[in-house]
Amino acid sequence: MKCALVTGGSRGIGRAICYKMAEMGYYVLVNYKSNAVEADKTLAQIKENGGDGELLKFDVANKDDINQVLGGWIESNGEKYIGALINNAGVKDDVLMIWMKDEQWDNVIKTSLDGFFYVTRLVLNNMLIKKYGRIVNIVSLSGLKGLPGQINYSAAKAGVIGATKALAQEVGRRGITVNAVAPGFIKTDMTEGLDEKELRSMIPIRRFGTPEEVACAVGFLVSEGASYITGEILSVNGGLYS
Ligand code: NAP
């Protein structure tokens, strides 16, 4: 059975990606950290739409948790195989560098960059054996451009962009593509405190994007139609900057 693992699938962009993966026929593994209520809603909607999947609760910032829960799932589900991995879980904790605390640096880097490494390494093994895989990393405009107040977040996302390009070259010959999607301002809990009216004048399309618009880009990169695209960073930002 072909499965898609979406980290941070309980809310926002990850939830829209879960729906897209289900629509594409994948059995969806909906990962989340703590919000069981929202994760349940994602899974219920997948099933209501005629798809199937299950919840997989683990903290992508904790390698022991990843190895235990995701590693355990892989070991005990030999008949299922994760053919698509969407590394979406991410957090931001903005403050100017001079005031940034150790924990703010550590948590943001661990969630995006360490999370990418430990989750992908586990999933990659079966992709290499099957000689097929699709990996899509959700990065950010912040990782391409660098944004003040986001030293931690820009560094984490830029790190994943570099890793995307490097891994694409390692595994291309084994039928595995590795790409990234870099959203701009997308309407989710993460951007809740931002003033869209004020910021939209900077955006050529003059509005924030939707999680579904990001999910469409991910769906394309996972599709057969994108089989000759790897190591790419696809911006979904309304023309803001790339
Ligand atoms: P969101 O609405 O805040 O949702 C975050 C999701 O990530 C939730 O499902 C959350 O799970 C999960 N998560 C957070 N930390 C986790 C951890 N340590 N382990 C496992 N899951 C974890 O965020 P979003 O806006 O959808 O963002 C999704 C991705 O897009 C992130 O990587 C973000 O950096 C990136 N991005 C977002 C924007 C934007 O404008 N929104 C722009 C550029 C890039 P719980 O529900 O359990 O907390």
What pLDDT score does 99 carry?
98
Tens of pLDDT, residue by residue over 154-189, are 999 999 999 999 999 999 999 999 999 999 999 999
Radius of gyration, alpha carbons of the chain: 17
Taking the domains of the chain in order of start, what are their residue ranges? 2-236
What pLDDT score does 206 carry?
97
Q: Which of 88, 103, 4 is nearest to 54 (CA)?
A: 4
3-state secondary structure of 68: helix
Nearest CA to ligand 1 atom 32: 90
Q: Is 32 in the pocket of ligand 1 (CB under 6 A)?
A: yes
**What is the tally of helices (H) and strands (E) in the chain?**
10, 7
Q: Which of 13, 79, 71, 19 is nearest to 45 (CA)?
A: 19
Q: How far apart are CA 77 and CA 106, in angstroms?
A: 33
Nearest CA to ligand 1 atom 10: 8
Q: Is 34 in the pocket of ligand 1 (CB under 6 A)?
A: yes
Q: For residue 15, give the ligand 1 atom closest to its CA.
A: 9
Residues in the chain predicted with pLDDT less than 70, given as ranges, are 242
CATH number of 2-236, picked from 3.40.50.720, 3.40.120.10, 3.40.50.300, 3.40.190.10: 3.40.50.720
Active site residues: 153
Q: Is 189 in the pocket of ligand 1 (CB under 6 A)?
A: yes
Give the Å distance between the CA of 173 and the centre of ligand 1: 31
Q: For residue 187, give the ligand 1 atom closest to its CA.
A: 41
What pLDDT score does 242 carry?
55
Q: How far apart are CA 232 and CA 57, in angstroms?
A: 29
Q: For residue 61, give the ligand 1 atom closest to its CA.
A: 18
- SS3 annotation, 171-240: HHHHCEEEEEEEECCECCHHHCCCCHHHHHHHCCCCCCECHHHHHHHHHHHHCHHHCCCCCCEEEECCCC
Tens of pLDDT, residue by residue over 20-35, are 999 999 999 999 999 9
Q: How far apart are CA 60 and CA 77, in angstroms?
A: 20
Q: How far apart are CA 35 and CA 10, in angstroms?
A: 7
Q: Is 18 in the pocket of ligand 1 (CB under 6 A)?
A: no
Q: Is 227 in the pocket of ligand 1 (CB under 6 A)?
A: no
